[in-house]
Structure 1
Amino acid sequence: MKTAAERAAAAPAPVVPPSSPKAGTTGRQGGPPWRRAILDQVRAYAFLVGGLLCFAVFSWYPAIRAVVIAFQKYTPGSAPQWVGTDNFTHVLHDPEFTTAWQNTLVFTALALLIGFAVPFVMALVLNELRHARAFFRVVVYLPVMIPPVVSSLLWKWFYDPGAGLANEALRFLHLPTSNWTNGADTALVSLVIVATWANMGGTVLIYLAALQGIPGELYEAAELDGANIWQRVRHVTVPQTRFIVLMLMLLQIIATMQVFTEPFVITGGGPESSTVTVLYLIYKYAFLYQDFGGACALSVMLLVLLSAFSALYLRFTRTDD
């Protein structure tokens, strides 16, 4: 027989009922729910104000200031003078104005033909890989991680007509060499190749993410209907990635219309002004001619053109959800 002490030790511990919350409290730490909600909103707006201040100081204020200077005669060390539309008139009569716009439009068209189709094809190829997919993603994205000036200097050496790697490869293959960036008829195309190589990594990854979001059942249904690879791309891939394609096309047009690094580092706008773009002409007005009014007038023209194009583009490509 168990003793009284053993029976007491073996008995289960009594269950203590939880104490009821005091009157006037919510049973939740931090006060009533409405106070927590207000604090959450205050924190959210505090973070938002920080971002808005950064945009206001580094983006919006310079943009508004540039619009004001476009109507002023502004040179360093002197007080600005209001001149109305004289800066726009002066820029329009500049012989390089037409050349810069022609080069920019040709560069944009070539970038769409080369730099828009190539990333899409590469994304299709990467999407079909079954082995070493991650490795090839890294390889494709590597050029994006190189600073633009560094990649431009590398390509400048690559295009050197004497000891450059491009002409050395052509000589090895017993093919005629090229002047590349030293020829007025090949310089712009050479810069398009540089810009495509340097920027297509991010575009490829975005396309690849869009392709992997397409349901596999659609491809299986197309295969059962006897569709070949080109028909699957046309009737399944392109419609399913239409929104991404249209948005990236808009962003690429806006980016290529503002090309500056490649002409500045590789060709310096030459030869024979064949690579002078609008942004490079803005640089010349501001830092070579010390005419900040003319530079801002050109900037306003580019802003108006890109804004109008973006609005029309979004209007004509808008579809229902």
Structure 2
Amino acid sequence: MPATTTTPPVAATVRRPPAGARPARPDHRRRALAGLAFLAPALVCFGYFSWWPIGRSAVLAFQETNLVEPATWVGTRNFAILFADPLLPTAALNTLWFTALSLLIGLPGPLIVAVLIAELRRLGGVARVLVYLPVVVPPVVSVLLWKLFYDPDAGLINRLLGLVGLGPYPWLQSPDWAMPSLVIEATWAGAGGAVLIYLASLVGVPRELYEAAESDGASVVRRVWHVLLPQLRGVILVLLLLQIIGCLQVFTEPYVMTDGGPENATVTILLMIYRYAFLFGDYGTATALSVLLAVVLAAVSAVYLRLTRGWSTR
């Protein structure tokens, strides 16, 4: 029997680039330039309408002007006038008080409403529409409507309370009731958007977790606390920051409803800015207060993001 010879396998031929040639790379620079070219119109508009006014305001805070004649440099005189105003501490405390009440009512309220709507077996779509309707109403119209509701004599709220033997209450005429009244209206007007965001986030919660907790006999409160809230932590933190920033800039409610009264109980920072600019014609001091408010908002955002870093992923 003849011996068989085994031919060794032929090694695969490897094609190597010639010496000195650079490996092919994607042209990242050309792609970056193309992306900037597409973004250029939006960046120009954003810079002109957003960053340019901010920079101009920072300069105007150290000037005196009537917006017609050339501005004159006055240094820190606008800030000195501002800090000498005895109404500034009152406005700052009122703004903080409005923010605290809004967070107390407006933060858990939309989440509770969203959970209740999500639990509805029928008419869930109708409930979503009814909850979002106040957002569609223009802010000034909403405030004027609630101003009629708060009327001490013919208002709807006092009439309803009178049916059960309560009231009438001076909602907007009392320094103690005025600020809570503004908070109730602001919460009613702005809660619809937060409710829809929570409803959209609830769709992403794994249904298996919720069904497992329900099969184990967990109550609705326990299911919300141990299942829903951990899954919605990131959304809650974002809405919390947005609500803080929005409440610190409240203007429409105190301006239209009470004009800062009664007894300066509802004067806020933005209402003071409006008065300095359009009632007193002191645009420099108004801009100085705007710059201070912007610095405070930036500091609050930075501290908040620093404290909540990583919370949404825990």
Equivalent of residue 143 in structure 2, options 146, 149, 152: 152
Q: Is the 8 A contact 1:149 1:265 kept in 2?
A: yes
Q: Is the 8 A contact 1:127 1:212 kept in 2?
A: no
Equivalent of residue 223 in structure 2, options 232, 235, 243: 232
Query: Which stretch has the larger CA shift, 58-67 or 71-80?
Result: 71-80
TM-score, with length taken from structure 2: 0.86
Equivalent of residue 218 in structure 1, options 209, 213, 225: 209
The whole-number CA distance in structure 2 between the counterparts of 1:39 and 1:114 is 49
Residue in 1 aligned with 2:119? 128
Q: Is the 8 A contact 2:92 2:268 kept in 1?
A: yes
The whole-number CA distance in structure 2 between the counterparts of 1:308 and 1:101 is 16
Q: Secondary structure at the match of 1:181?
A: coil
Residue in 2 aligned with 1:49? 40
The whole-number CA distance in structure 2 between the counterparts of 1:41 and 1:89 is 47
**Structure 1 residue 168 corresponds to structure 2 residue 159:** yes
Residue in 1 aligned with 2:304? 313
Q: How does 1:46-125 map to 2 (within 5 A)?
A: 46-125=37-116
Q: Secondary structure at the match of 1:235?
A: helix
Equivalent of residue 196 in structure 1, options 170, 187, 203: 187
Q: CA deviation at 1:57?
A: 2.2
Q: Is the 8 A contact 2:102 2:247 kept in 1?
A: yes
The whole-number CA distance in structure 2 between the counterparts of 1:133 and 1:229 is 18
**Structure 1 residue 298 corresponds to structure 2 residue 282:** no
Query: Which stretch has the larger CA shift, 169-178 or 272-281?
Result: 169-178
**Structure 1 residue 268 corresponds to structure 2 residue 259:** yes
Q: Which amino acid aligns with 1:200?
A: A
TM-score, with length taken from structure 1: 0.85
**Can you list the C-alpha shifts for 1:53-86, whole angstroms capped at 9, x where unaligned?**
2222221111111111111112233321112211
The whole-number CA distance in structure 1 between the counterparts of 2:114 and 2:148 is 29
The whole-number CA distance in structure 2 between the counterparts of 1:62 and 1:173 is 54
CA RMSD across the alignment: 2.0
The whole-number CA distance in structure 1 between the counterparts of 2:176 and 2:258 is 13
Identity over the aligned pairs, expressed in percent?
A: 54
Q: Which amino acid aligns with 1:304?
A: V
Gaps of 5+ in 1: 1-33
Q: CA deviation at 1:40?
A: 11
Q: Is the 8 A contact 1:107 1:188 kept in 2?
A: yes
In structure 2, the CA distance between the partners of 1:94 and 1:234, relative to structure 1 (3 Å rule), is: same
Q: CA deviation at 1:231?
A: 1.6
In structure 2, the CA distance between the partners of 1:138 and 1:96, relative to structure 1 (3 Å rule), is: same
Q: CA deviation at 1:307?
A: 0.6
Q: Secondary structure at the match of 1:88?
A: helix
The whole-number CA distance in structure 2 between the counterparts of 1:225 and 1:134 is 29
Q: Is the 8 A contact 1:143 1:201 kept in 2?
A: yes
The whole-number CA distance in structure 2 between the counterparts of 1:170 and 1:64 is 51
Q: CA deviation at 1:46?
A: 4.7
The whole-number CA distance in structure 2 between the counterparts of 1:300 and 1:82 is 17
Q: CA deviation at 1:182?
A: 1.4
Q: Is the 8 A contact 1:76 1:290 kept in 2?
A: no
Q: Is the 8 A contact 2:153 2:168 kept in 1?
A: no
Residue in 2 aligned with 1:25? none
Residue in 2 aligned with 1:15? none
The whole-number CA distance in structure 1 between the counterparts of 2:288 and 2:32 is 45
Q: Is the 8 A contact 1:184 1:270 kept in 2?
A: yes
Q: Is the 8 A contact 1:259 1:277 kept in 2?
A: yes
Q: Secondary structure at the match of 2:69?
A: coil
Q: Secondary structure at the match of 1:177?
A: coil
Q: CA deviation at 1:233?
A: 1.3
